[in-house]
Structure 1
Amino acid sequence: MIKLIASDMDGTLVSTDHAISEANASAIKRAQNKGIEFIITTGRSYEDAYPQVVAAGIECNYLVMNGSELRNPKGEIIQSLYLTRTLVEQTVAELTQAGMYVELYTTGGTFSPSDAESRKWAVATKINNFHPLISIDEAYQSAEDHFLYKGINCIDSLERIFENGYEVGKIISFSHRRDKIAELRATLPQKYPVNVTGSFAINLEITNPLADKGEAIKHYAAGRGIPTAAIMTIGDSYNDLGMLGDMFGYTVAMGNAIDEVKQQAKYITDTNDADGVGKAIERFV
Structure 2
Amino acid sequence: MEPWHLLGIEPLGRGEIEGILRGARALRELLRGPTKKRSDLRGKTVINLFFENSTRTRVSFEMAAKILGADAINWSAAGSSQAKGETFLDTIRTLEAMRPDVLVIRHAASGAAELAARHVRCSVVNAGDGAHEHPTQALLDALTLQDHLGSLEGRRIAIVGDIAHSRVARSTSLCLRRLGASVVLCGPRTMLPAAPWEGVEMVSDLREALREADAIIALRIQLERISECLFSSAREYARYFGLSRRTLAWAKEGAFVLHPGPMNRGVEIEPEIADGGRSLVLHQVESGVAVRMAVLLRAAGKLEESIHG
Smaller-chain TM-score bracket: 0.3 to 0.5
TM-score, with length taken from structure 2 = 0.33
Normalising to structure 1: TM-score of the pair? 0.35
By percentage of residues, which structure has more strand? 1
Q: Which protein has the larger Cα radius of gyration, Structure 1 or Structure 2?
A: 2
